[in-house]
Amino acid sequence: MKHLKVLLMATMAVIGLTFTITAPSAAAATADGTQVTCGRSGYGVGLYFNSDIKGSKRCIYGDVSNYAYNGTLCTSQGCPPYRFELDGRNGEGQLVKNNAASVYNYSGYGISIFFGSGWSGPWDSFPEYGYAGSALWYGNLNSTYNENASHRRTAQG
């Protein structure tokens, strides 16, 4: 009986160790290799702090007329700005407004990134995800490189 108890305790320890080892690694991996994923539903747009789809990322769903106000997180004290949010990557915690260098359009809509708030001024456009034409749905910003203030979707592909 004593051997059975020791065996049972050893088995439980191994099971606990297995869960301890596998749970964190499974949680860290996502479809696009980051901790924050945009996915393919809705109007997901990934804005990146660095060129070439690198550095910290912020995923935003829907149209945004001013990155200085995140309307989805408003409280009685006001609305916080959008910030880059990948842990430990260059740009983490920095404001999205006037700090994005590249974009990955995960949505089924074309997207335009604008220089000014309220969808004004020069812009960079990216077609919907998977577009097979001459333009890519991801890349570095040109007209709005580190001067981005808003974005909105354009015609559906």
pLDDT score of 157: 46
Element (H, E) at 157: none
Q: 3-state DSSP call for residue 21?
A: helix
Tell me the pLDDT tens digit for each residue of 33-84: 344 567 655 558 999 999 999 999 998 888 999 999 988 888 999 999 999 9
| pTM to 2 decimal places | 0.73
Structure tokens at 15: 């099971």
